[in-house]
Amino acid sequence: MNKPQSVVAAGHALTAEAAAEILADGGNAFDAAIAGVCMSFVAEAVFASPGGGGFLMARAAGQRDARLFDFFVETPLKHRSADEVSFFPIQADFGPATQEFHIGLGSSATPGMAQGLFAMHEAYARLPMTRLVEPAIRAARQGLPLSDFQAYLFTVIAPILKESAEAQAIFAPGGKLLKAGDTFRNEGLAETLAWLAEDGAQLFVDGDIGQAIAAQSRDLGGHLTLDDLKRYEVRLRDPLFWRFGSASVALNPPPSAGGALIAYGLSYLEAHAERGSIIDAHALGTAMIASNQVRKSHGEQLGVRLARGQLMQEIAAAVAATSTAPRAYRGTTHISVIDADGNTAGVSLSNGEGNGFIVGDHGFMLNNMLGEEDVVDGAPGEWREGARMSSMMAPTIILEADGTVMALGTGGSNRIRTAILQVAVNLLAHRMDVDAAVLAPRLHVERCGTVSFEPGFSEEEEAALRSLGQEAKAWPERNLFFGGVHVARWHEGRGGEGAGDPRRQGGAIVV
């Protein structure tokens, strides 16, 4: 019998290739995930940065239980007075619509990325960190052709990438944004990654880069101080476990919101199926409406019952637990890896869109997570001090009764939960292969009542979807609006398979 394969799926071909290189060199899934994360700083610079944060859902081979590493950002310990803070709006241009983001040093929350990488490494990794950063360092120094998707993202957030001379030097040399096919190079980031691998996470706490972060914040109008960086800790959490049929689903627990809302949707749909109805587009839409309602109520309506009569106290309580945390939902990418032994890693990352200013000569921006429009259901710039922020990111691991394990996750702001819900249903209820599950048309229902959907639904399904909301929006083609779900699936006897979502130019590799 041939040795089972390893599999990786990610948001950029080079991110997947970096992880695959490490797998081929004897690394495990966690080594590969770390290498993929570091490459994402280079190849997916709009979404990921050493100045942001994220989550790892980890399952060691042979174990049923998973662990959640929370290294997401935290609000600063103290508000600086408004007249001292650099915090201002820019318009992101999506073509058909624009959206206001806030940037400046005052938009940055305390990053946890460096500490998260080393917490992952200490707990699970096999190879030295100096080896794991090599693919990213090589790409950053030699340069890489800018992909169509990343070039498009550059145009969307052009005001951020051109805000400072240091940012322009990397993303828009000579004042002109790099275009698809142009060589993108970031030698400052290469040096930072090499330095980080040698010195460890302390470099970003009170080492030279931590000192540079604090000094920049002090001098250019930020809230962050060395006390914020020193206080930060990676938090290990028990996942929110939920059953769907015979499968066990490990989800991101509070204070993040995505996992609880996915669990609620799965329960709603399972009850729908128990009543003898198939889980079709209309059922998915009604599940999204129900999830929006329980989210809006923050769990106060504990009388919401499924048809089988069960009180959804556990999920409603989980949703309630996410309601008071400051929210940061944008700018996300994801990496899924399962190695030949069955070790499983799902990592979701975010830097928001970046604050517009490069830290020293280190080749990266801090996040702009405090620039969300709805950080605390108030005006931008208002937030509770010293709090771990809530994210919609939901790296997910699914274990089926026959030993099949899956890792999946996505970017997509508040569409993360609905994208993962739909792909999970495609995999578990409709028994699709991973490519079909990812390619299948998606829908999303906003709290305002707008029902958006991609082409590919039948006429009857489209009619049913239009009846669900106050407004219907039929998209002409698959779109990044509906997320970018990257899936790895593995079975000891059948090997691995993966799918990177074409909506975000994702890729998958079997090693």
What is the separation of C-alpha 483 from the centre of its chain, rounded to a whole number of angstroms? Answer: 10
What separation, in Å, do the N-terminal and C-terminal C-alpha atoms of the chain show?
16
pLDDT band at 418 (very low <50, low <70, confident <90, very high): very high
107: DSSP letter: G
What is the structure's pLDDT at 103? 95
Q: What gap in Å lies between CA 410 and CA 483, rounded to an integer?
A: 6
**Cβ–Cβ < 8 Å for 168, 175:** yes
List the single range of 60-74, 272-286, 449-463 with lowest mean pLDDT: 272-286
CB atoms under 10 Å from CB of 495, counted, come to 16
Six token digits for residue 130: 């100096």
* Angle (nearest 5°) at CA 328 between 159 and 55: 115
Give the chain's domain count.
Answer: 1
Six token digits for residue 298: 């923050």
What is the structure's pLDDT at 319? 59
Six token digits for residue 313: 């106290």
Q: Is 460 exposed, middle or buried (0-12, 13-18, 19+ CB in 10 A)?
A: exposed
**Cβ–Cβ < 8 Å for 48, 367:** no
Six token digits for residue 215: 């000094």
Q: Which domain holds residue 120?
A: 14-45+72-234+354-371
User: What's the mean pLDDT in 366-390?
Assistant: 77
What is the structure's pLDDT at 417? 93
β-strand partners of 396: 408
**Dihedral sign from CA coordinates of 187, 191, 192, 194:** positive
**Cβ–Cβ < 8 Å for 135, 23:** no
Q: Give the CA radius of gyration of the chain.
A: 21
As a whole-number percent, the residues of the chain with pLDDT over 70 amount to: 88
What is the structure's pLDDT at 305? 32
What is the structure's pLDDT at 396? 98
CA atoms within 13 A on the CB side of 131: 18
pLDDT band at 272 (very low <50, low <70, confident <90, very high): confident
Cβ-Cβ contacts under 8 Å for 307 (sequence gap 6 or more): 271, 272, 274, 275
Domain contains 453:
no
pLDDT 10s digits, 449-497: 899 999 999 999 999 999 998 899 999 999 988 999 999 999 999 999 9
User: What's the mean pLDDT in 437-448?
Assistant: 92
Domain contains 455:
no
Domain contains 210:
yes
223 pLDDT above the threshold of 50: yes
Six token digits for residue 492: 């000891």
Q: What gap in Å lies between CA 488 and CA 498, rounded to an integer?
A: 4
- In degrees and rounded to multiples of 5, residue 409 shows phi and psi of -175, 175
What is the structure's pLDDT at 1? 43
Classify 254 as helix, strand or coil. coil
Six token digits for residue 319: 């949703």
Residue 236: which H helix or E strand, with range? strand 235-237
Domain contains 396:
no
List the single range of 15-19, 187-191, 305-309 with lowest mean pLDDT: 305-309
CA atoms within 13 A on the CB side of 206: 6
Domain contains 66:
no
Question: What are the residue numbers of the active site?
Answer: 332
Q: What gap in Å lies between CA 233 and CA 114, rounded to an integer?
A: 11
pLDDT 10s digits, 149-207: 999 999 999 999 999 999 999 999 999 999 999 999 999 999 999 999 999 999 999 99
Of 18, 50, 45, the residue nearest 32 (C-alpha): 18
pLDDT band at 331 (very low <50, low <70, confident <90, very high): low
User: Could you please report the per-residue DSSP string of 338-365?
Assistant: E-TT--EEEEEEE-TT--S-B-TTSS-B
* Angle (nearest 5°) at CA 54 between 359 and 360: 5
What is the structure's pLDDT at 91? 85
299 pLDDT above the threshold of 60: no
Domain contains 182:
yes
Domain contains 478:
no
For the stretch 449-453, contacts whose Cβ atoms lie closer than 8 Å and that sit 24 or more positions apart, written own/partner, are: 451/285, 452/481, 452/482, 453/281
**Cβ–Cβ < 8 Å for 73, 369:** yes
Domain contains 310:
no
What is the structure's pLDDT at 97? 62
Cβ-Cβ contacts under 8 Å for 65 (sequence gap 6 or more): 59
**Cβ–Cβ < 8 Å for 188, 361:** yes
- Type of residue numbered 480: L
276 pLDDT above the threshold of 70: no
Better-scored residue on pLDDT, 447 or 105: 105
